[in-house]
Structure 1
Amino acid sequence: MPFDFTTLEPYLGDLALGARLSALACALALAGGLLLGTVAALMRTASAPLARRVAEVYVDVFRNVPFIVQLFFLFYGLPEIGVELSAFATGVLALSLAGGAFTSDVIRSGILAVEPGVLEAAQVSGLSRLAIYRRIVLPIALRTSVRPLGSVFVNLILTSSILSAITINELTGTAKIVASDTFQPFEVYLLLLLLYAAMTWLVSLASGALHRRLNRNLA
């Protein structure tokens, strides 16, 4: 049967708005996940057993439970204990918590990769432990973690498609509405496929370029 993409033209604006909402949710979740992941990585490399255990439990739970279960728990469960969040805020929170668990592994690996000699030199210079981590360890760890963090962001973009399950009309949610209105699922979902491929490709390109820029003096 013939395929007609011209009938989708009136809906391109809606799809663009959906893509923008997806991008906003992912950008906020990236910031939240980076913060949570950094804190968890520091706790996992700390000398205090309790801090390590708490961080490990957090990472294990959010890496090993399906994202849609986490999303439904936050969306339907939090109001039961008096925590009222919008669907969008709940989606960003869920993505941040899940992203933080994976980000923690990346940053932890970066911290452990810092040469012991660098730490010894910093200690000899009289810097406090906090200053060593803030001014030396974390900048090195983050610089070497750019590519893996780019992969985490790509995964956030892909995972964000599940947010439509809690009534958020991001890119996938909008595409479902358009497919229902036009009765053209092939055209709509092919366009959706291409949009997600473009978004993830751009993120991969950007992370690769940033990695080369930050590490150009180490080549």
Structure 2
Amino acid sequence: MGYSFQFSIVWDNLGLLFAGAWLTLKISLLAIAFGLIIGIIGAIFRTSKNKLLDAIALAYVEVIRNTPYLIQLFFIFFGIPNLGIKLTAEQAAILSLAVNFGAYSTEIVRAGVESIPKGQVEAGMALGFKPLAIFRHIILLPALANIYPALVGQVILAVLFTSVVSQIATEDLTFVGDFLNARSFRSFEIYFAISLIYLAIVWLIKAMAFIIERRYFEFAKYRR
């Protein structure tokens, strides 16, 4: 074959790679947290009897889900500053990922909300619960339990989407890999190592998701 593997480029730059991995994880978790808040609000709008709120949420979902994430990222990083709003590369990465994740999680959470039997809601109303209390205590937690696997899958996709933010010079894991590759041209070694790090990050997310499921959604198993 004639190719000589040289993983020294990886060992010599572990600190740089771990710094990129940490930024990737940080961006992912912040974007997912904000995106889930957006998704819950969007789901409330989508299930609202108010046609205007429903239309606004539907338009948001359709625009985000039917345009490339890279274009959304470029619009936020290069387009929004023309309106006088300055964002760093990291801030633009978090905002764009949150907006993207929010659109997908809106429909996931909406499906969960609509899976709750109407009898439970009616029982809450009969007991005198206010609409917000009904949503918080009767709808939200069981709904999240119903759509938890789908939501975790979307979280993993969001983590992998972070590789795109290197296009605006966010110094995430992919950016570090591109930088090292440009210096050394050891593409196989560098991108093999980066793939393993991404795999480790996803496994960490899955482990966290499993702990959350055991802590908060174990009750769902006994309702099925």
TM-score tier by shorter-chain length is over 0.9
> Is the counterpart of residue 90 in structure 1 residue 96 in structure 2?
no
1:146 aligns with 2:148: yes
Q: CA deviation at 1:207?
A: 2.1
Give the secondary-structure state (helix, strand or coil) at the position aligned to 1:145: helix
- Once the two structures are overlaid, the 10-residue window that deviates more, 8-17 or 141-150, is 141-150
Q: How does 1:114-153 map to 2 (within 5 A)?
A: 114-153=116-155
- In structure 2, what is the Cα distance between the partners aligned to 1:210 and 1:21? 23
Alignment-derived partner of residue 211 in structure 1 = 213
Q: Which residue of 2 aligns with 1:185?
A: 187
SS of the residue aligned with 2:13?
helix
Tell me the equivalent position of 1:202: 204
- 2: CA distance, partners of 1:203 / 1:149: 12
Structure 2 match to 1:169: 171
**% identical aligned pairs:** 32
For normalisation by structure 2, the TM-score amounts to 0.93
Normalising by the residue count of structure 1, what TM-score does the alignment of the two structures yield? 0.95
Structure 2 unaligned blocks of 5 or more: none
Deviation, 1:213, is 4.2
1:204 CA drift (Å):
2.6
Q: Report the CA distance between 1:212 and its aligned residue.
A: 4.3
| Unaligned segments of structure 1, at least 5 residues | none
Indicate the SS of the match to 1:216: coil
Q: For residues 128-186 of structure 1, what are the alpha-carbon distances to aligned partners after superposition, in whole Å with 9 as ceiling and x for unaligned?
A: 11211122211221232322221111111111000000011100000101111222111
Instruction: Give how far 1:215 is off.
Output: 3.5
- Cα RMSD between the aligned structures? 1.3
State the match for 1:62 in structure 2: 64
Partners of 1:191 and 1:124 lie apart in 2 by: 58
Q: d(CA) in 1 for partners of 2:141 and 2:218? A: 15
The count of residues paired between Structure 1 and Structure 2 equals 219
Deviates more, 1:201-210 or 1:114-123: 201-210
Q: Residue 33 of structure 1 contacts residue 100 of structure 1 at CA under 8 Å; is this kept in 2?
A: yes
Residues 197-206 or 25-34, more deviating: 197-206
Q: Secondary structure at the match of 1:126?
A: coil
Is the CA contact (8 Å cut-off) linking 1:147 and 1:207 kept in structure 2? Answer: no
Whether contact under 8 Å (1:59, 1:102) holds in the other structure is yes
After superposition, give the CA deviation of every residue in 1:4-33 in whole Å (9 maximum; x if it has no partner).
112321211000000000000001101110
Match of 2:6 in 1: 4
- Tell me, yes or no, if the aligned pair for 2:77 and 2:168 is still in contact at 8 Å: yes
By how many angstroms is 1:209 displaced?
A: 4.3
Aligned to 2:36: 34
Runs of 4+ in 1 over 4 A off after TM superposition: none
The range that moved more, 95-104 or 196-205, is 196-205
